Chains A and B, each alone.
Chain A
């Protein structure tokens, strides 16, 4: 923790901003995570999000293979940008997976979970095959699966910021429609909302958010970061936007704390973030449960004696 603060201090004083970049990524992804996570949780498509997340490995593996084994770096000079990177591969794979899963879930409702499970595993299998076929990249596999935010550099910040902006702007512009569809899809349809189109858009946003989160916590733990802050927020929020704001704030707090804790002893930051999130969720659930029990105990012993008095409880 003190290492973390010392490094932070020196970077604020003018040292190269490595840790600041990492914190920046955590902050940016937290916003998309809280907003889209709220839709995912209320629309109950966390399983779809999990499927999309695991397909991402296929895209990352394919990108690495194309770049290193096939040497497809020839197109890089266009605009001076590296086009084939694990991030771009992840974006393509996630959007493709979202499209397939979306169509399957709209057309073949009954077999939805089976198809998603099949995609989930095949996406990973394809990724593992590509990576094993690319000499010298096996150690990167761990980073993709379990997250390695500490390798983020200022160059990587730009595409992440762009993705993040796209997700946030679209999510907020279509807020009305998304809330209406999450609450009551059939009614939204009678009001002229193009439900399928919006559903696929929502899955596309989920896919991009998943890609953003992969750089923070890794493929395996994406669903946790997408859902736990929202689940905690759901214990307090009474409206959708409150849930989003609270989930964003929680997500920022959890990623920052997780990074601070893992920085000095060099622990895996993704795992620390998830353990912190799960611990907080458990604590909130327990406290709420105890509070509810205490409230009930306050009511029960007094009510029989005060039965003749005017009842204050109306339900």
Chain B
């Protein structure tokens, strides 16, 4: 990524000297992270390392104990309506009575009129978002009848329905069938052409060819070039705290892929 002169305006996410503790337990320490507009970034790290916490700080759902978070040039609670957020699908009541369209329409709630039902414009936007993730033919199905991968796509459509500038995906690849992974990879690649994409994953092998930057979250931050993204380093990274690994697009065939693609 080239450094533009007006860099601060081009920052989709700008985190400075951030500390966060939960019930007195430090979760994140001295985190500095900047993501440029249009960049594709993946956060990796062990469970409990603070990935989801970092996502929630970016969304303004949590507030830093110290330091500051700027998103799309402003405070997260103000600017988060310009963020499309897709949480992990496993977190939902599996029997909740909603259709696929109902779920995607929830993404329109900020733009829709406050009282009364969704309008035609909302339905059109929801339909387009479903098309973008290749789920338009399942629009009338019950959300509870879908497979894990389909649910994940619907949640991404819900995130897209508001026309976001930044797409924030929490574990989009969790519980995916192996056959679906390639499709999913393609979908994320298409989406990220127009958007800044930040996703959380524990599967570095899946994302390393897709993203510009890999952020390893385990308490704090350090920067590493992608050439060092080897299995050995990954072990090292997980032992260390938070690290940043830069990826230069030319290393698809480098031999040290940390987690070889599953067969």
A residues with CB within 8 A of B: 42, 44, 173-177, 179-180, 182-184, 186-193, 234, 237-240, 242-243, 315
Contact = CB atoms under 8 A, between A and B. Distances in A.
Interface of B: 59-61, 80-81, 83, 85, 87, 91-93, 95-99, 102-103, 105-107, 109-110, 112, 115-118, 142, 147, 158, 162
Nearest to B144: A238
A166 B129 CA distance: 36
A240 B95 CA distance: 11
Main DSSP-derived SS at the A contact region: helix
B195 to A, nearest CB: 16
Contact of B61 (A186, A192, A193): A186
Contact of A193 (B96, B98, B109): B109
A315 B150 CA distance: 12
B106 A192 contact: no
A187 B106 contact: yes
B109 A188 contact: yes
A186 B158 CA distance: 13
Contacts of A243: 97
Contacts of A190: 59-61, 80-81, 83, 85
Contacts of B109: 176-177, 180, 188, 191-193
A173 B92 CA distance: 25
B115 A173 contact: yes
Contacts of B162: 191
Contacts of B103: 183
Contacts of B87: 184, 186-187
A191 B99 contact: no
Nearest to A240: B97
B106 to A, nearest CB: 5
A175 B114 CA distance: 10
Given A176-B112, A191-B107, A315-B147, A183 B98 contact: yes
B97 A191 contact: no
B123 to A, nearest CB: 12
A242 B97 contact: yes
A238 B142 contact: yes
